[in-house]
Amino acid sequence: MTDEYRSARRAEIAEAAQAAFRRKGFQATSMAEIMAESGLSAGAIYNQYKGKADIVHDVANRISRQRLDELDELKAQNPLPAPSAVVRALITAMASDLTAPAQLLQVWGEAATDPDLAEMCGKVYLTMRQAHIEYISLWHQREHGLSPEEADAVGVAQAPLFLSAVHGYVVQSTIVPDFDGAAYLDAMEALLPR
Amino acid sequence: MTDEYRSARRAEIAEAAQAAFRRKGFQATSMAEIMAESGLSAGAIYNQYKGKADIVHDVANRISRQRLDELDELKAQNPLPAPSAVVRALITAMASDLTAPAQLLQVWGEAATDPDLAEMCGKVYLTMRQAHIEYISLWHQREHGLSPEEADAVGVAQAPLFLSAVHGYVVQSTIVPDFDGAAYLDAMEALLPR
DNA sequence: AGTATAAAAACGAATGATCATTCTTGACAA
DNA sequence: TTGTCAAGAATGATCATTCGTTTTTATACT
């Protein structure tokens, strides 16, 4: 069997598991449910994954990776809009998959007790933050004529707060019954500095 | 047995369960671990709670309630600082219990798949938001001379973003290895409008 | 006060269900 | 024919919950 086949099958399993996890959570989802969702047998699944924990990690990885992929697309695309517009684009991309925010929140919640997951989430965050630091710095240099050092300092200070806009969106869209995403994005762009 | 005794024992159990949940998560914590942590037997625990789900809900409630209690203390106390200073106080109060942010994140993650928990979290959020709307509105009326209607509109728009500062703190302090809470708070006050 | 009695509460071993994982068996591709 | 993969029943462990028993507590009575 070819490598290509292997990874295709892993994707098949991971997608089924992701759907099941989304419904019941990581811990409360049984292997039997993943088997039912994927239509595969225990043997087929254990041929691809070491165990349930292995699947959980792979799915969490996928969910996080998707956010980084969106970041890459943004980087390749834009001229130089305000940082808040970048955050808007990031959130819009994420929210285009309606289940993505809740899934991210599930992963973060799990990371609170799983060191491996915490490390993965931390790495993803650091990549995100670094990209924002560089972007904010660049934007302040061009737009306000700051020196690279001054601009970097601004980026380091502000990047975590721009990312908080993402975190707030994730939490509120999952938890708040009457959450209005569009109004949230408008308020963010009005509030964050330019 | 008096009602007082009953609630004292429930508190005893809930505190033990909370400690265990913090370590292993809600689902992965077994009744045996709650028994060990509390030093009580199965019978004693099942006399107070209907089952594990009952304990989970009670503990999640406690974790959320503590945040509302802090809000009440703030309301009783302050003259009229800027809204961002209120958010700082809220976060500082929360972070004074070092495990509180991670616990909140666990609850929110669980709420993504548990409708009862989601409803509870939603209610807590809505009272938080309402308090902030009123506060921001009041502050804008006094500080910038806005009419009540104008000021209310500002409050409705901005409150979710002020709360995002809390959500961002919760997520980042749990997930980010080198998170600097003090710098985060300073940046927030510098960034949010006055 | 001291003791008997009844009720409540706690104990902890037993139970039955669920679950992750393994392993034997059969099918299929090379 | 041989080696790989999938199937699915079997296994053994874990877990929430129950329940018969013991202990404690409150109360009534002498």
Is a pLDDT exceeding 90 seen at residue A78?
Answer: no
Candidate from B122, B164, B175 with C-beta closest to A108? B175
User: Is B177 within the bounds of a domain?
Assistant: yes
Res. A80 pLDDT band, cuts 50 70 90: confident
Work out how many domains chain B is built from and give that number: 2
For residue A193, pLDDT beyond 90: no
Query: Helix/strand/coil (H, E, C) string of chain A?
Result: CCHHHHHHHHHHHHHHHHHHHHHHCCCCCCHHHHHHHHCCCHHHHHHHCCCHHHHHHHHHHHHHHHHHHHHHHHHHHCCCCCHHHHHHHHHHHHHCCCCHHHHHHHHHHHHCCCHHHHHHHHHHHHHHHHHHHHHHHHHHHHHHCCCHHHHHHHHHHHHHHHHHHHHHHHHHHHHCCCCCHHHHHHHHHHHCCC
CA distance A149 to A155: 10
Domain assignment present for residue A63? The answer is yes
Q: How far apart are CA B131 and CA B92, in angstroms?
A: 18
Asked if B157 and B185 sit in the same domain, the reply is yes
Residue A68 sits in the same domain as residue A157: yes
Distance CA A128, CA B185 (A): 20
Place of tokens 């929360």: B94
pLDDT at A153: 97
Report the mean per-residue pLDDT for chain A: 96
Give the position of tokens 């601004």.
A154
How far apart (Å, rounded) are the C-alpha atoms in residues A92 and A181? 9
Reduced DSSP (H G I as helix, E B as strand, rest coil) percent helix, strand, coil of chain A, to 5: 80, 0, 20
pLDDT of residue B1: 64
Q: Does A175 touch chain B (CB under 8 A)?
A: yes
Q: Choose the weakest-confidence range: A76-80, A104-108, A141-145.
A: A76-80
Q: Are B184 and A160 in contact (CB under 8 A)?
A: yes
- Does one domain contain both B95 and B15? no
In chain A, the residue whose alpha carbon lies closest to the alpha carbon of B167 is A168
pLDDT, one tens digit per residue, over A11-29 is: 999 999 999 999 999 999 9
Q: Are residues A5 and A74 in the same domain?
A: no
Who among B26, B168, B187 is closest to A158 (CB)? B187
A45 and A68 fall within a common domain: no
Residue A54 domain flag:
no
- Residues of chain B contacting A107 with CB distance shorter than 8 Å: 109
In whole angstroms, give the CA distance from residue B59 to residue B24: 14
My answer on whether B156 and B71 are in the same domain is yes
DSSP A51: S
Query: Do A93 and A144 belong together in one domain?
Result: yes
Question: Could you tell me the two tokens for A98?
Answer: 């309606």
What's the confidence (pLDDT) of residue A134?
95
**Structural contact between residues B88 and B8, judged by C-beta atoms closer than 8 angstroms:** no
Radius of gyration of chain B (CA): 19
Q: A67 and A90: one domain?
A: yes
Does A152 reside within a domain? yes
Nearest to A106 among B109, B158, B164 (CB): B109
Confidence category of residue A57, pLDDT binned at 50, 70, 90: very high
Q: Looking at beta carbons, which residues of chain A come within 8 Å of B129?
A: 176
The CATH number of the domain where B31 resides is what? 1.10.10.60
| Same-domain check for residues B84 and B38 | no
Among B residues 46-75, those touching chain A with beta carbons less than 8 Å apart? none
Q: Quick one: B28 and B75 in the same domain?
A: no
Question: Can you give the residue range of the structural domain that contains B154?
Answer: 59-191
Instruction: Residue B146: count other Cβ atoms within 10 Å of its Cβ.
Output: 17
Residues of A in contact with B165 (CB under 8 A): 161, 164, 168
pLDDT at B158: 97
Q: For residue A113, list chain B residues with Cβ-Cβ distance below 8 A.
A: 22-25, 28, 106
Residue B9, CB, strand C, below 7 Å? yes
Cβ distance B188 to A161 less than 8 Å, yes or no, reads yes
Q: Does B43 touch chain A (CB under 8 A)?
A: no
Residues A32 and A75 in one domain: no
Q: Please answer whether residues A162 and A154 qualify as being in contact, where contact means their C-beta atoms are separated by less than 8 angstroms.
A: no
CATH number where B175 lies? 1.10.357
Rg (CA), chain A: 19
Distance of CA B173 to the CA centre of its chain: 14
Give the tens place of pLDDT for each residue, B71-110. Answer: 999 888 877 889 999 999 999 999 999 999 999 999 999 9
Q: For residue A182, count CB atoms less than 10 angstroms from its CB and return exposed for 0-12, middle for 13-18, buried for 19 or more.
A: exposed
Which nucleotide's C1' is closest to A47 (Cα)?
D5
Does B54 reside within a domain?
no
pLDDT at A1 over 80: no
Which chain C positions have some atom within 7 A of a protein CB?
Answer: 8-14, 18-24
Distance of C1' in C20 from CA in A194, Å: 54
Q: Which residues of B touch A165 (CB under 8 A)?
A: 161, 164, 168
Chain A nearest-CA residue for B115: A175
Q: What is the pLDDT of residues A122-156, one digit of tens each?
A: 999 999 999 999 999 999 999 999 999 999 999 99
Q: Which two tokens stand for residue B167?
A: 């959500």
User: Which residue of A114, A163, A168 is in closest CB contact with B160?
Assistant: A168
Q: Determine the pLDDT at residue B2.
A: 78
Query: CB under 8 Å to B84, separation ≥6 — which residues?
Result: B162, B165, B188, B189, B192, B194
Task: Report residues of chain B scoring pLDDT below 50.
Answer: none
Residues B21 and B71 in one domain: no
